[in-house]
Amino acid sequence: MRFVVKHGDDVVTKPDDIREIYEQTKLNECWLLANQSIYGDILMALQREEYLRDDLSISVVSTDSCFNIDLDNYLVTTESRFNLVTSTSANNTMQKLELASFQGIYSLT
């Protein structure tokens, strides 16, 4: 998981630089929005559409995620890539079989 934080003229990606900006702006509500729990909405949508069926052992795997936090404009965007996978046995070894992949983009203000 990657984080990109914009504050004033600075755009930072290094954890130490992000922590320094956080200490200066910890009351900004954007920090609360930049949380992995928003991925629960994606999982709920998939379950409602019956893509995640227990009987087929289908699961979701996050392959890439990035939170973009713009403190000046009170905007959090997350871009994520997910794969739907199931387990299969080949040559007496369990392997993951990719069924589909998709990208989800959320913007929160």
Q: What percent of the chain stands above pLDDT 90?
A: 28
pLDDT-based confidence at residue 22 (cuts at 50, 70, 90): very high
pLDDT-based confidence at residue 13 (cuts at 50, 70, 90): very high
Q: Is the pLDDT of residue 6 over 90?
A: yes
Q: Is the pLDDT of residue 105 over 90?
A: no
Q: Is the pLDDT of residue 54 over 80?
A: no
- If phi > 0 it is left, if psi is from -120 to 50 it is alpha, else beta; for residue 8 that is left
pLDDT-based confidence at residue 29 (cuts at 50, 70, 90): confident
Tens of pLDDT, residue by residue over 72-90, are 999 999 888 888 888 887 7
Is 44 exposed, middle or buried, given 0-12, 13-18 or 19+ CB atoms closer than 10 A?
A: exposed
- The Cα-based distances of 13 to 10, 42, 48, 57, 93 in angstroms read 10, 25, 35, 36, 39
Q: Tell me which amino acid residue 5 is.
A: V
